[in-house]
C-alpha cells in the first residue's frame, strides 16, 4: 500500500510539473505574453528550469530532516524537468530569438558573457540527463555519483547566468542565489561531518 501511494504521488508530481509549460502554451496561443512574447517565454522557461533545479537539490536536505527515504524517488524526476525547461529555454533563444543564426550567436557572445555561462550550464546538464537512468547508474558505478555532483556547479552557474542577464531588478536572482547557497551549504556541512 505504501509503495502504491508513492508511485501515485510520483505520477501526480509528473503531471503537476507539466502545468507551467501548459500555461505558457495557453498564454502563447491566446496572445497573453505581453509586448515581447519571445522574451517572456525565454525568461519564464529559465525561471522554471531554476525552480526545478532548486527542488531537486532540496530533496536531500528534506529527506535528512524528515527521515522520509522515499523522497529520493523524486530527485531524478525533478532533475529531468529542470533539463526539460532548460532545453525549452535554450530552444526559444536559438529558434525564436536568433532564428537559428550561428553568425548572430557568434556576434552576441563577446558582448554578452551571460550567454557563454548559459551555454556552459546547459552543456553540463546534458550528460546528467543522458545518464539519469538506473541502467546508466549501474553501468557507471562510482563514476555516476561523481558525474552527478556537477549539479552543484550547474546550480551556481545558472544563478550567475540569471544575475548577469538581469539588468535592472536583481531581486529574483539574489533570491535564487540565497536558496542555492543554503542548499549547497547543507551539503558542505554534511560533507565535513558536522551534521
More confident of the two residues 101 and 189: 101
User: Mean pLDDT for the chain?
Assistant: 90
CB 6 within 8 Å of CB 69 = no
Cβ-Cβ contacts under 8 Å for 185 (sequence gap 6 or more): none
User: Mean pLDDT throughout 112-139?
Assistant: 92
User: Mean pLDDT throughout 182-193?
Assistant: 74
pLDDT digits (tens, 9 = 90+) for 136-146: 888 888 888 88
Query: What pLDDT was estimated at residue 189?
Result: 74
Query: What pLDDT was estimated at residue 81?
Result: 97
pTM of the model: 0.92
Query: What pLDDT was estimated at residue 84?
Result: 98
Query: What pLDDT was estimated at residue 134?
Result: 87
Percentage of the chain modeled with pLDDT above 70 = 96
pLDDT digits (tens, 9 = 90+) for 30-77: 999 988 999 999 999 999 999 999 999 999 889 988 888 888 889 999
Query: What pLDDT was estimated at residue 192?
Result: 53
CB 44 within 8 Å of CB 20 = yes
Query: What pLDDT was estimated at residue 195?
Result: 39
Query: What pLDDT was estimated at residue 119?
Result: 94
Name which of 58, 71, 83, 60 is nearest 180 in CA terms: 58
Query: What pLDDT was estimated at residue 154?
Result: 96
Grid cell of 145 as nine digits:
555519483
Angle at 28 between CA 52 and CA 56, to 5 degrees: 5
- Using DSSP's 3-state secondary structure scheme, residue 28 falls into helix
State the pLDDT confidence band at 101, using cuts at 50, 70 and 90: confident
Report how far residue 14's alpha carbon sits from residue 11's, in angstroms, rounded to the nearest whole number. Answer: 5
Q: Which of 112-116, 126-130, 148-152, 186-190 has the lowest mean pLDDT?
A: 186-190
CB 57 within 8 Å of CB 151 = yes
Answer yes or no: is pLDDT of 194 > 50. Answer: no
Amino acid at each position: 500500500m505504501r509503495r502504491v501511494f508513492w508511485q501515485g504521488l510520483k505520477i501526480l508530481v509528473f503531471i503537476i510539473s507539466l502545468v507551467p509549460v501548459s500555461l505558457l502554451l495557453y498564454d502563447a496561443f491566446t496572445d497573453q505574453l505581453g509586448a515581447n512574447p519571445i522574451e517572456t517565454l525565454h525568461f519564464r522557461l529559465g525561471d522554471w528550469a531554476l525552480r526545478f533545479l532548486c527542488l531537486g537539490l532540496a530533496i536531500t536536505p528534506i529527506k535528512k530532516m524528515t527521515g522520509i527515504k522515499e523522497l529520493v524517488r523524486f530527485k531524478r524526476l525533478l532533475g529531468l524537468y529542470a533539463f526539460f525547461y532548460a532545453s525549452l529555454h535554450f530552444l526559444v533563444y536559438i529558434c525564436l530569438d536568433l532564428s537559428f543564426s550561428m553568425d548572430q550567436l557568434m556576434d552576441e557572445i563577446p558582448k554578452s558573457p551571460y550567454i557563454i555561462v548559459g551555454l556552459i550550464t546547459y552543456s553540463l546538464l546534458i550528460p546528467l540527463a543522458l545518464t539519469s537512468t538506473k541502467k546508466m547508474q549501474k553501468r557507471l558505478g562510482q563514476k555516476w555519483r561523481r558525474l552527478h555532483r556537477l549539479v552543484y556547479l550547474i546550480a551556481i552557474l545558472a544563478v550567475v547566468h540569471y544575475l548577469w542577464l538581469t539588468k535592472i531588478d536583481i531581486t529574483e536572482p539574489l533570491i535564487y542565489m540565497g536558496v542555492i547557497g543554503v542548499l549547497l551549504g547543507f551539503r558542505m556541512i554534511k560533507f565535513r561531518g558536522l551534521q
